[in-house]
Amino acid sequence: MKLAKVIGTVVATRKDETLVGHKLMIIRRIDGNGNFIDLEEVAVDYVGAGIGELVLVGQGSCVRVDKRKKEAVIDMAIIGIIDTMDI
């Protein structure tokens, strides 16, 4: 899992049918102190995250474990909303 902050949304009216019904969010990875690292990426939102929230992001085949997501073209997903972080 990775730490990230939601910084925006993506609207795509034409997309692969396996993405229909999924909210797409722009995220940017953060370090443990909340500083941005890496570039912006797009992740499917499984948990209803909003802009400005800190989130947990999963990547790869592990984000397609449920039956209806097995064949989806999802590579990155928001899988949790962070309440607090202690380092």
DSSP for 4-35, please give it.
EEEEEEE--SS--GGGTT-EEEEEEEE-TTS-
pLDDT surpasses 70 at 67: no
Q: How far apart are CA 43 and CA 21, in angstroms?
A: 14
pTM: 0.89
pLDDT at site 68: 67
Domains delineated in the chain: 2-81 (2.40.50.220)
Per residue in 35-60, pLDDT tens?
999 999 999 999 999 999 999 999 98
What percentage of the chain carries pLDDT values higher than 90?
Answer: 67
* Total Cβ atoms within 10 A of residue 22: 16
- Alpha-carbon span 44 to 68, nearest angstrom: 14
8 A C-beta contact, residue 3 and residue 54: yes
